């Protein structure tokens, strides 16, 4: 079963679908504020549209920052995103212009 999402949640889901997998990347990409992105990520994870894993602490420490939580779409999230893009046609140009995120090394 899919879940209806808001247009801002659809933007977050689309960002993750293109490989922008943690909150700060999504904030930078979309221009949405942290007060929008982080609650959306929590709700989407709670509702089963996303799954998340914390990066190993050693990686974060080596970079001198706190650990990041990385998100990916579930099957339900993919279906919900597809339905949202059908419903919110004004988001299609945004979705189409997103380049996949380069893999970090």
CATH number for position 79: 1.10.10.10
Q: Which residue has the higher pLDDT, 96 or 5?
A: 5
pLDDT reading at 59 higher than 80? yes
- Alpha helices by DSSP H, listed for 1-105, are 7-17, 23-30, 34-46, 57-62, 75-87, 92-97
| HSE-CB for 59 with a 13 A CA cutoff | 9
- Buried b / exposed e over 55-88, threshold 16 CB at 10 Å, is eeeeeeeeeeeeebbebebbebbeebbeebbeeb
Q: With pLDDT > 90 as the criterion, what percentage of the chain qualifies?
A: 69
Q: Which domain holds residue 87?
A: 7-97
Task: Read off the pLDDT band of 56 (50, 70, 90).
Answer: very high
- Asked whether residue 23 is assigned to any structural domain, the reply reads yes
Residue 102 lies in a domain: no
- Is 87 among the domain residues? yes
pLDDT at 54: 96
Q: How many domains does the chain have?
A: 1
Do the domain assignments include residue 62? yes
pLDDT above 70: residue 64: yes
pLDDT tens string 23-44: 999 999 888 999 999 999 999 9
Is residue 58 in a domain?
yes
């Amino acid at each position: 079963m899919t879940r209806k999402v808001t247009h801002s949640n659809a933007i977050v889901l689309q960002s993750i679908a293109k490989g922008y997998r943690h909150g700060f990347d999504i904030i930078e990409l979309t221009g949405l504020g942290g007060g929008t992105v982080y609650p959306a990520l929590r709700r989407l994870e709670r509702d089963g549209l996303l799954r998340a894993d914390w990066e190993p602490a050693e990686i974060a420490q080596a970079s001198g920052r706190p650990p990041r939580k990385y998100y990916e779409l579930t099957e339900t999230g993919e279906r919900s995103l597809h339905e949202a893009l059908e419903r919110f046609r004004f988001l299609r140009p945004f979705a189409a212009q997103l380049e996949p995120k380069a893999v970090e090394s």
